[in-house]
Amino acid sequence: MAKVAVLAGDGIGPEIMAEALKLLDKLGLDFQYAEADVGGAGIDNKGKALPEETVKVCKDSDAILFGAVGGPKWEKLPPEEQPERGALLPLRKMFDLYANLRPARIFPPLASASTLRPDIIEGGLDVLIVRELTSGIYFGDPKGIEEDQGYDMMRYRRGEIERIARVAFESALKRDKKVTSVDKANVLSTMVFWRRVVEDVHREYPKVELEHMYVDNASMQLVRNPRQFDVILAGNMFGDILSDEASMLTGSIGMLPSASLGDGGFGLYEPVHGSAPDIAGKGVANPLAQILSASMMLKYSFNLVEESERIESAVLKVLEDGYRTGDIMGVGCEQVNCSEMGDLVAERL
C-alpha cells in the first residue's frame, strides 16, 4: 500500500485538497493518507511551520501532496519562521527535491482566458519549465541583514547544475527535443559557470537542441512568442519568476500544477498558486491545479501513467463542457464552485 503525506496547509489549501483526494478516491487507488499540519496551521497548532510530527509523516511516506501556505496572520514573524520559508524550503532541502517541473499548458477551451492575443497562442501552448530548487541564491551562504546593508550569496556547484540539466534534457527527449537554458551570463559569474556546465552536459544528448537565452530576453519572449519554447531550464530564482509569468499565459494561475522531485521517485506535488486568504472559506477557489498536481504525483512517484492521463482527460472534458470557476469564467460558460468542480471532474472519470 502506497503512503501519501497530505499537507493541506492554509487559506484555500484544505478546500482544494479535498477535491484532489476526491479524484484519487474515485480512481480506487490503494493509497493510505496521513494528514499533517504545515505552514501557518503548523505554527498555530504546533508552534512551528514544519513541526517534527509532520517531518516524520513525510519521511514515512512515498510522496507528499501539498496544498498552500501563508497569509497576513503570520507576516510579522521573523522571515525564517514564516510559513513558506519555514516549511517549503526546509522540505525541499531535507528530501533533496532539486528538480521542480512546472508545465505551462493551455487547455484549448481556455484559450480565450489567456492574456495573449489569440494569434500568438493559436495551435496551443505547452511549455515545461525545469527549475533548480535547492541551491542558488535562495540557499546561498552567507546571507543577512545589517543596519546599512542586506546581502545574499548566489552559488552553484558543478554537480548541482549537472543533475538539473540532465532532468531538462531527459524531459526534452520525450517532448520536442529542445532546451532553452536561461541565465544572466553577461553580468553574473555564477551564470557564466552555469552556461559552461550546461554545455558540457549537452554533449551527452546530441539529439536535443540547446539554446542559451538571457533571463530578461526570456521573460520578454515568453509573452512575445511562447511557442518557440519546449523545455526551459533555469536556476532557482529565474525559474521561480519565469514560471509565475508563464502561469498567466494559460489563463489563470489556478490551473498550474508542479512537481518537486528528487532521485528515486520521491516528490512533493503542489499547485503553483498561493493560499489566497482573501477567498479562503468561500468555496470559490479553483481546485484544478491541485487536482493536476495529484495527477503529476501518480505519474512521477507511482508510475501510474494511465490513471494520471485519465485525470487530465477528465479535466479537459469538464472545460470543453463549459464549466468554470470564477477565475477562468468565460462568455457562455456555467460558473461552479470549488466542490462542484471537483464533482464534475470525478463524474467524467
Domain assignment present for 108: no
103 part of a folded domain: no
Q: How confident is the model at residue 176 (pLDDT cuts 50, 70, 90)?
A: very high
| CATH code assigned at 138 | 3.40.718.10
**Domain shared by 49 and 129, yes or no:** no
| pTM for the whole structure | 0.89
Q: Which amino acid would we find at residue 135? A: S
Three-state SS across 46-102?
HCCCCCHHHHHHHHCCCEEEEEECCCHHHCCCCHHHCHHHHHHHHHHHHCCCCEEEE
Same domain, 243 and 281: no
Choose one of 203, 223, 249: the last residue of a domain.
249
Residues 235 and 124 in one domain: yes
DSSP string, 218-239: HHHHHHH-GGG-SEEEE-HHHH
On average, the pLDDT of the chain sits at 94
Neighbours of 143 (CB within 10 A): 13
Task: Render pLDDT for 81-122 as a digit per residue (tens, 0 to 9).
Answer: 999 999 998 999 899 999 999 999 888 888 877 888 888 887
Query: Does residue 326 lie in a domain region?
Result: yes
Residue 315 domain boundaries: 1-97+266-349
- Catalytic center residues: 138, 184, 216, 240, 244
The whole-angstrom distance between residue 161's C-alpha and the CA centroid of its chain comes to: 19
Q: Is the domain of 142 the same as that of 168?
A: yes
**Domain boundary residue among 214, 249, 284?**
249
